[in-house]
């Protein structure tokens, strides 16, 4: 399949679907510009070739109403700073103002259109809206992995109007390539670290990856459902009581497929879900009544270190504890350090899912991973084995 490097954009008007859905503070300053930075190589490829880059994105959930709070004008100065060039901002994403701005643009210019979700037609995947969106361009690039799992007008439907003039941007291609590396690797062993609070939210991922991995590390709150299913006493720890049979079923399937499952041995238990709670280290199967496990214990971490360091491919999705509280962050930090050490020695590490990404950024570990995904929901759906509409639209 052709990549962005197979095309020259000289003289072309290029519609680029980016994911500039970035967090803003109360004064509308961008507080995390990673997604804008991630789109820079694709935008630069178009402008350096001598094309015109027409950027489209959503921001927040304005629910089809024009709301100044969600205007993309708030991110113009930060985007100009990152790209190192001026941007023409258009206060609409379809219609005469857009046509006029594109007609007046010169080679190498960057145009940013207003929030796509000011129109209900965007999320409905309306064909007429998609056609109007694409009418100002003669090439389409999708570089928005974060929305590739949505069949919206700008991520999926618009592609049909560019049958031979469409491709993935650098970011989206890298996301697909990284996930492909995890799911279809010849390198062994492959280790998946699954954390977070619920087994139910990870069940389809587990079912899809069991054939592809050698080790499965289960941590965070979801581990207690497994421990209780196996007869352990978990005190007041979080647990999905209706998923106990499912947990046993997962363990049986893993055994059948020769996947080694690593559950916690000990935990940092607390007498309350609070930053100032009293804590003690206890056996994971013997948590006293009134206490709850909130982080991985030292014996658990000791056992995980060798598994991680021997792995050739690592997928990390979910923290090992309540890392937002300093008292219960150690397990997640240590795991991150182990993965960073393995990565330095040549292991391929992919981090994805909101909490894991937040953790590696918070603890300064992001640069030490092979790849940190920009799309939570999209990545999870790919791990579940689903074909993303935004990906399929380019491949068709």
Q: Of 305, 198, 284, which Cα lies nearest the Cα of 235?
A: 284
Contact 384, 375 (CB under 8 A): no
Alpha helices (H) in 319-396, listed in sequence order: 330-344, 354-362, 376-383, 389-395
- How far apart are the C-alpha atoms of 111 and 119, rounded to whole Å? 19
Burial of 362: CB neighbours in 10 Å, binned 0-12, 13-18, 19+: middle
Q: Point out the residues that are catalytic.
A: 35, 198, 354, 377
Question: Could you write out the three-class secondary structure of 37-103?
Answer: HHHHHHHHHHHHHCCEEEEECCCCCCCCCCCHHHCHHHHHHHHHHHHCCCCEEECCCCCHHHHHHHH
Closest CA to 29 of 93, 73, 66: 73
Helix (H) or strand (E) holding 245: helix 244-256
The annotation places the binding site for ATP at: 202, 293, 324, 353-356
Query: φ and ψ at 387, to 5 degrees?
Result: -90, 125
Between the CA of residue 337 and those of 157, 216, 365, what are the distances in Å? Answer: 42, 18, 8
Which residue numbers belong to the known binding site for (2R)-3-phosphoglycerate? 35, 117, 150
Assign residue 9 a region (left: φ > 0; alpha: ψ between -120 and 50; beta: otherwise).
Answer: alpha
Find out whether 381 and 189 touch, Cβ atoms under 8 Å.
Answer: no
Three-state DSSP class for residue 247: helix
Tokens of 345: 């020695």
Structure tokens at 208: 């899809």
Q: Give ∠ CA 17-23-24 in degrees, rounded to 5.
A: 115
Binding residues: 19-21, 35, 58-61, 117, 150, 202, 293, 324, 353-356
15 vs 13: CA distance, rounded Å: 7
Beta pairing, strands 139-142 & 13-17: parallel
């Amino acid at each position: 399949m052709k990549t962005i490097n197979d095309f020259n954009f000289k003289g072309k008007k290029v519609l680029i679907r980016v994911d500039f859905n970035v967090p803003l503070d109360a004064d509308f300053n961008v507080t995390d510009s990673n997604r804008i930075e991630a789109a820079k190589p694709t935008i630069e490829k178009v402008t350096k070739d001598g094309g015109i880059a027409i950027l489209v994105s959503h921001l927040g959930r304005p629910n089809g109403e024009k709301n100044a709070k969600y205007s993309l004008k708030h991110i113009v100065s930060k985007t100009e700073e990152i790209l190192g060039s001026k941007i023409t901002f258009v206060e609409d994403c379809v219609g005469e103002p857009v046509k006029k701005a594109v007609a007046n643009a010169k080679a190498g210019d960057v145009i940013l259109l207003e929030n796509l979700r000011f129109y209900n037609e965007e999320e409905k995947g309306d064909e007429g809206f998609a056609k109007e969106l694409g009418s100002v361009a003669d090439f389409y690039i999708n570089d928005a992995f974060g929305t590739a799992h949505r069949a919206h007008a700008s991520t999926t439907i618009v592609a049909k109007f560019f049958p031979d003039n469409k491709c993935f941007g650098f970011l989206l291609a890298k996301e697909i390539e990284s996930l492909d590396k995890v799911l279809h690797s010849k390198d062994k062993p492959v280790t998946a670290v699954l954390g977070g609070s619920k087994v139910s939210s990870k069940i389809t991922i587990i079912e899809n990856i069991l054939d592809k991995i050698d080790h499965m590390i289960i941590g965070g709150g979801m581990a207690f459902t497994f421990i209780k299913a196996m007869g352990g006493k978990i005190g007041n720890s979080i647990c999905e009581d209706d998923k106990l049979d499912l947990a046993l079923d997962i363990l049986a399937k893993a055994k059948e497929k020769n996947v080694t499952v690593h559950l916690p041995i000990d935990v940092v238990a607390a007498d309350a879900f609070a930053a100032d709670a009293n804590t003690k280290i206890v056996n994971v199967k013997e948590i006293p009544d009134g206490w709850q496990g909130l982080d991985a214990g030292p014996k658990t971490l000791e056992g995980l270190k060798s598994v991680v360091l021997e792995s050739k491919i690592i997928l990390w999705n979910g923290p090992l504890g309540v890392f937002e509280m300093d008292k219960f962050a150690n397990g997640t930090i240590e795991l991150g350090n182990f993965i960073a050490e393995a990565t330095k020695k040549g292991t391929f590490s992919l981090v994805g899912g909101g909490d894991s990404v937040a953790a590696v950024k918070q603890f300064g570990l992001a640069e030490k991973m092979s790849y940190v995904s920009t799309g939570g929901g999209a990545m999870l759906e790919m791990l579940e084995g689903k074909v993303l509409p935004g990906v399929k639209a380019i491949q068709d």
